[in-house]
Structure 1
Amino acid sequence: MAQLEFIDYTPWREEIDGDALQFVPDKLGRPIKGLPTIFWSNGEPWSEANHFSIEKVLSNQGQSTKTALALMKHLAAYANWLESEGLDWRHFPVRRDDRSVVRFRGYLIDQRDRTGGLSPGTTTARMAAVIQFYRHVQAYGLIAKSSPLWKDRMTVIRYHDSVGFERAIMRLSSELAIPNRKRNGLHLEDGLTPLRTEDVAKLMKFTQEQNLRELHLMLSLGILAGARIDTITSLGVKNIETAYPDVQTPGTYRLRVGPGTGVRTKFDVSGELMVPKFLIDNLKEYSYSMQRLRRQDLASEPNRGLLFLTSRGNPYVSSTFNRLMTDLRRNAVADGLRFMHSFKFHQTRATFGTWLMGVAISVAGPKVAVEFVKQTMLHRHERTTFLYVRFLEEAPIKAQMAKEFSQAFSGLLKRDWTQYHA
């Protein structure tokens, strides 16, 4: 699969030395540290996409690669899809529906509408990044300008200025743009839904049987403690060692996270994860296992204390973790776990939150339950926590509706209609 890597870029320029052409560092050019670049699975760079990345950084006066990184992550996803479909990004036949970029749009919409798939916001942003890339390569002559990409249209956006006068601006819009429309039905954080209990059991059994120890522990932290990816990948051995028993909840430990602990949280929220004692014990055992110690030996000094390291001793970043999830999905589906086809790691958090809210409501009622779950899951806003309440309230209604609908109409579907024929 295609890889998103980071390089230190130094601009070069051509120079004529007698009759020879040579390239030398361009002293007037601007070097870029940590430039996001894409390489195909065969190791070849995607030169046009990398040129796009360079221009995006330079257009920001070289101050930050943040914008370029966001765009290149979407292009890396496009590159992976192209390779999986055996398509070339320059494939533009006359028939519109056969064009690679049009087919990718259909794929994104399908992923958006699939349970556990892409969120509407990510879908819109990913297609916008691909369109922006194609505009770039066409403007720089990196693709034939006669290539039938898509049809553009001008849209008028009306607004009122600070003194109340009506104004209008014209914006170029592509027919391939995907509107950011909310997915039907109620979903939890990041537009995802929880895993079924039986699917959780199958997933954990699979990682255990496949001896995927590190991945098994990561999934356990998501399912049993509601930890996010960023939190899990920034955990240190010291964080596990300093976890302490919760005197009010036997068999449970408190694990401090957030500012001052070295463990990342969304919005830098400070708090404590509730982690089962047996999982803390397993994490401690893993921290001193030969598997992890070998990885620690390969790590640089600042990263040696991290609990989870790649096989090369590097900390997990989004690209390496995404590869881990891609391999997990592929292998699990091949083993018969069809629900893993669209699995997202964040579903483990949604699964924990749904279970926790259900238990809390049954014991203390909605008001106390919401506050308890909000603190346990480190939610910044209470409205995020209320999603779990609504999800649990709607579930029995949907189940009963499906049951009664089936009872009411199954007889009609099975009825022998031959007696009514003329």
Structure 2
Amino acid sequence: MSMLSYIRFQPWHEAAADDGVAWERDANHPDIDRLPQIFWRSREGWAEANYWALTKVSDDGVDLETVKSLMKHLHAYSEFLEDSKLDWRHFPIRMEDRVLVRFRGHLIKQIESGSLKSSTASARIRAVIQFYKHANDQNFITPEYPMWRDKTVVIPFFDVTGFRRTLARASTSLAIANRTRLGTKLEDGLQPLSEQHMSELLGFTLHEASEELHLLLTTGFFVGARLETITTIRIENLEAALPDPFIKGFHQLNAGPGTGIQTKFDVQGQLLLPDFLLAELLRYAYSTPRLKREARAAPRDRSLIFLTSRGSRYSSNSVSRLMTELRRDASRAGLKFMSRFKFHETRATYGTWLMKIMLGITSVPTAIEFVKNAMFHKHESTTFGYVKFIESSQGKQQAAAAFSEAFSGLTTRNWDDFHA
């Protein structure tokens, strides 16, 4: 896949020399440390995008952190291009075949699957459009057909004197609205599943979905980790897990920088892994189906627990496709709650029930600290959102038996019973 790297850029310029032209350091322009640059799978640089990053910093005076953010969005776009085998200059006569239209559809699918927030998707398409405007101005691209349609959005508002005014804002046909969901929300606007719906879903995936998707969802529900964390767990991580000294029936799984397991904001800590799930993941890790996938994998990916049928690591795109199929199949089977289910809601479900249990056995500050560590929250305010959600939800006094057994450590769930 494509790669986003950071380099130290040293400006040089031409200078006259006795034997012609020589190059020397440009003393009038400082070095740029950690300038973001994108490289394709072939390790060839994306020259047009990399030049854009340089001009944003050196010519336009844009803050380097802002440029890093823009290039992260463009890097996600480059991954889409390589996965879809598309050229970034592909603008045929059919509107739906044009590369930016297809990318917009890809982002919307990610929003629907829960793998991407609408705010991120909105910022991503804006960053990509900004790059294309630059590329067009520099004549790096001269499409025969329009890349998008420009439009004006009129926003009404009231001024300080109470008079109604309007504000005109330029937009494009590719823009993605940053829509938020109504009602009480948790981190990233998530909603948890009830215990009944969670059990129905896992019962369905056990028999009707792939073993990999079933285990991905089970890990999400019983560990509460983000998808990027789950898909980077390796066999050596599981084998290095140690029994929790304070909670019976659990192991601690180190995650974060230095472990190979990715976490948001590089937060470091220990995932709480129920013993029954640890045993099941290790069983799957050495099963024949997974070993066949491992044989097809690149050396650096072979120890990952979750690999696709081609031996690749799971990306947000591949999980998004699996979730789209799951929603369709589960809805047809009568699981109506699945019509809008997103993978990330496994995390909301875990956090909600864990907080309910902790509030039932300890003080609010202690419960918040415990859940904050278990869910790798960077800020305590994020964890406190679960307290407010429970307080405003019906049935807040009822703890789910399945989660109580798993999280309290008083009993150990039998995996065979769970599958029954």
Range into which the TM-score falls when normalised by the shorter chain: 0.5 to 0.7
Give me the whole-angstrom Cα distance separating, in 2, the residues matched to 1:77 and 1:301. Answer: 20
Matched, 1:174 2:171: yes
Say whether the 8 Å CA contact 2:253–2:271 is kept in structure 1: yes
How far off is 1:280 after superposition?
0.8
Q: Secondary structure at the match of 2:40?
A: strand
Q: Secondary structure at the match of 1:296?
A: helix
Q: Secondary structure at the match of 1:391?
A: helix
- Residue 218 (structure 2) aligns with: 220
2:315 maps to a residue whose letter is V
Give me the whole-angstrom Cα distance separating, in 1, the residues matched to 2:357 and 2:74. Answer: 44
Say whether the 8 Å CA contact 1:71–1:129 is kept in structure 2: no
Say whether the 8 Å CA contact 1:115–1:192 is kept in structure 2: no
- Residue 27 (structure 1) aligns with: none
Matched, 1:343 2:327: no
Q: Secondary structure at the match of 2:192?
A: coil
1:203 maps to a residue whose letter is L
How far off is 1:342 after superposition?
2.2
How far off is 1:225 after superposition?
0.9
Say whether the 8 Å CA contact 2:237–2:253 is kept in structure 1: yes
1:149 maps to a residue whose letter is R
How far off is 1:133 after superposition?
7.9
Q: Secondary structure at the match of 2:349?
A: helix
Q: Deviations over 1:232-276 (max 9, x none)?
A: 111111111122222322212211111222111111111111111
Give me the whole-angstrom Cα distance separating, in 2, the residues matched to 1:151 and 1:69. Answer: 27
How far off is 1:90 after superposition?
5.9
How far off is 1:142 after superposition?
1.8
Give me the whole-angstrom Cα distance separating, in 2, the residues matched to 1:265 and 1:297. Answer: 27
- Residue 143 (structure 2) aligns with: 142
Q: Which range moves more in the overlay, 127-136 or 387-396?
A: 127-136
Say whether the 8 Å CA contact 1:120–1:183 is kept in structure 2: no
Matched, 1:309 2:323: no
Matched, 1:191 2:197: no
Give me the whole-angstrom Cα distance separating, in 2, the residues matched to 1:397 and 1:32. Answer: 50
Say whether the 8 Å CA contact 1:258–1:265 is kept in structure 2: yes
Say whether the 8 Å CA contact 1:299–1:314 is kept in structure 2: yes
- Residue 326 (structure 1) aligns with: 324
Q: Deviations over 1:154-207 (max 9, x none)?
A: 99xxxxxxxxxxxxxx99722765664654332112111112222211210111
How far off is 1:356 after superposition?
0.3
> RCO (CA 8 Å, sep 6+): is it higher in 1 or 2?
2
Q: Which range moves more in the overlay, 55-64 or 239-248?
A: 55-64
1:341/1:117 CA distance change after superposition, 3 Å: farther
1:250 maps to a residue whose letter is K
Say whether the 8 Å CA contact 2:73–2:124 is kept in structure 1: no
- Residue 163 (structure 1) aligns with: none
Say whether the 8 Å CA contact 1:116–1:193 is kept in structure 2: no
Give me the whole-angstrom Cα distance separating, in 2, the residues matched to 1:153 and 1:352. Answer: 40
Say whether the 8 Å CA contact 1:233–1:315 is kept in structure 2: yes
Matched, 1:363 2:361: yes
Paired residues, number: 323
Give me the whole-angstrom Cα distance separating, in 1, the residues matched to 2:131 and 2:120. Answer: 16
Say whether the 8 Å CA contact 2:232–2:261 is kept in structure 1: yes
Give me the whole-angstrom Cα distance separating, in 1, the residues matched to 2:82 and 2:385. Answer: 32
Q: Deviations over 1:3-49 (max 9, x none)?
A: xx759xxxxxxxxxxxxxxxxxxxxxxx973269xxxxxxxxxxxxx
Percent of residue pairs bearing the same amino acid type: 41
- Unpaired stretches in structure 1, ≥5 consecutive residues: 8-30, 37-52, 80-86, 93-99, 156-169, 400-422
Q: Secondary structure at the match of 1:396?
A: coil
- Residue 240 (structure 2) aligns with: 242
- Unpaired stretches in structure 2, ≥5 consecutive residues: 4-36, 56-66, 86-92, 156-166, 398-420
- Residue 410 (structure 1) aligns with: none
Give me the whole-angstrom Cα distance separating, in 2, the residues matched to 1:240 and 1:348. Answer: 21
- TM-score, structure 2 as length reference: 0.64
Give me the whole-angstrom Cα distance separating, in 2, the residues matched to 1:115 and 1:211. Answer: 16
Q: Secondary structure at the match of 2:95?
A: coil
Give me the whole-angstrom Cα distance separating, in 2, the residues matched to 1:326 and 1:6. Answer: 25
2:197 maps to a residue whose letter is D
Q: Which range moves more in the overlay, 346-355 or 233-242?
A: 233-242
Residue 256 (structure 2) aligned to one of 258, 266, 282: 258
1:126/1:335 CA distance change after superposition, 3 Å: farther
Give me the whole-angstrom Cα distance separating, in 2, the residues matched to 1:153 and 1:250. Answer: 58
How far off is 1:324 after superposition?
2.6
